[in-house]
Amino acid sequence: MNSRIIKLREAMRQNALDGMIVTNPCNIRYLISVNAEGTLLITDKENIFITDARYIEEVQAKVTIEDEISIYDLVGIREQEYITFFEDCDRVGFEENDISYAKYVKYKARYRLRDMIETDNLIEKIRMIKGEDEIANIRKACEITDKCFTHLVNFIKPNMTEREIAFEIHKFFMENGADGLAFDTVVASGENSSKPHAVPTDRRIKACDIITIDMGATYNGYASDMTRTIFMGSPSEEMKVMYNFLLACQKRVTGKIRDGASTKEISQGVVKEFDIAGNYTLIHALGHGVGVDVHEIPVISDRSDYILKQDMVVTNEPGIYITGKYGMRIEDTILVNKLSSEVLTKSSKELIVIK
């Protein structure tokens, strides 16, 4: 059996679960390395992946005997057969944060389960600690992202649109070995930069614009996530002061990231610094885990309560947004080590002015 399913079975034992229904596509990808719609059942007797005709050939080609996963075509399963899967299981877990209410009701009836037990991110918690191969993949995704940033600093010229820049990022990723985009790229210029989740528009870059670029690639299914804020022509004094404050703040956070650090305490530190410096508010989480999904646990915010552990990979992304004027954000993807951390996105964070 593959080592990730073994880990899951161990976690299930600790939670007194003898069965589990896995529906979250990221968790399925993590556990059995296939990219297919379907449901993974962990029963006391076997591991079962139920998929449909659109995917079955591909899944059968990828899964080996050593994986010990039985593959079923949805259409071929009789009602009676569904009942047998969990018949010897007392406590069957499910993913309450992923499954729809309608599917919950359907599965409860289909598998004849008296109860389904909420599992509170059981698999996501296993995913938090990355293995060597996972770190290598994230490292590679970050490398491609860094190369892309170097390219962009030369590529971006006045009068280009945000959409053109976003597309260039995608093109660069594809031509440099990435699987694709880890998420929808943000290229937010001028007044658009005050919106943290701005969708790239046809707005043209002009002199004195701030440009915030939030981008990430996937490599072998693993994500990177990096934001840089750069300036077209000379930034105002006000912008410079704010940028240098934000950068110092971001670096102090990186200095605190290590095994044993509290996500709440780190975030509270930033909230306090923001407040003292300029009555700024941290309007989004300070960071999040990165892996097969670009947004994973642990969340780093003053409302979260995780202790960072060695081999977690997280982002550090403070941002300041002045409604209707402009905003800025600086973000790295960071590997948590025993006594310190390693910044995996190595692009310069010094104030960059392009012309």
Which residues within the stretch 19-38 sit at the binding site for a second copy (CB under 8 A)?
35-36
Question: Binder to a second copy among 3, 132, 197, 279 (CB under 8 A)?
Answer: 197
Q: Does residue 170 interact with a second copy by CB under 8 A?
A: yes
Contacts of 153-159 with C-beta under 8 Å, sequence gap 24+, read 153/230, 153/352, 153/354, 156/205, 156/211, 156/230, 156/232, 156/354, 157/205, 158/204, 158/205, 158/206, 158/207, 158/232, 158/355, 159/204, 159/205, 159/206
Give the per-residue contact string, 295-334, with a second copy (x = CB under 8 A; - = no): --------------------------x-xx----------
Shortest Cβ 328–a second copy spacing (Å): 15
Residues pairing with 217 in the sheet: 181
Q: Does residue 163 interact with a second copy by CB under 8 A?
A: yes
Task: Calculate the alpha carbon distances from 194 to 181, 189, 206, 209 in Å.
Answer: 23, 9, 16, 12
Which residues within the stretch 33-62 sit at the binding site for a second copy (CB under 8 A)?
35-36, 52-55, 57-58
Q: What 3-state DSSP class applies to 137?
A: helix
Question: Binder to a second copy among 49, 94, 111, 274 (CB under 8 A)?
Answer: 94
Residues 6+ apart with CB under 8 A from 106: none
Comparing CA positions, the residue from 79, 117, 93 lying closest to residue 21 is 93
Task: Choose the binding region for a second copy from 165-173, 263-271, 306-314, 335-343 (rule: CB under 8 A).
Answer: 165-173
Take residue 82 and report the two structure tokens written for it.
Answer: 């569904």
Q: Does residue 284 interact with a second copy by CB under 8 A?
A: yes
Task: Choose the binding region for a second copy from 38-46, 99-107, 233-241, 251-259 (rule: CB under 8 A).
Answer: 99-107
Torsion, Cα of 25, 30, 35, 36 (10° steps) = -50
What is the total count of residues that contact a second copy (CB under 8 A)?
36
Task: Enumerate binding residues for a second copy (CB under 8 A).
Answer: 35-36, 52-55, 57-58, 94, 96-102, 104-105, 118, 163, 167, 170-171, 174, 194-199, 281, 283-284, 321, 323-324
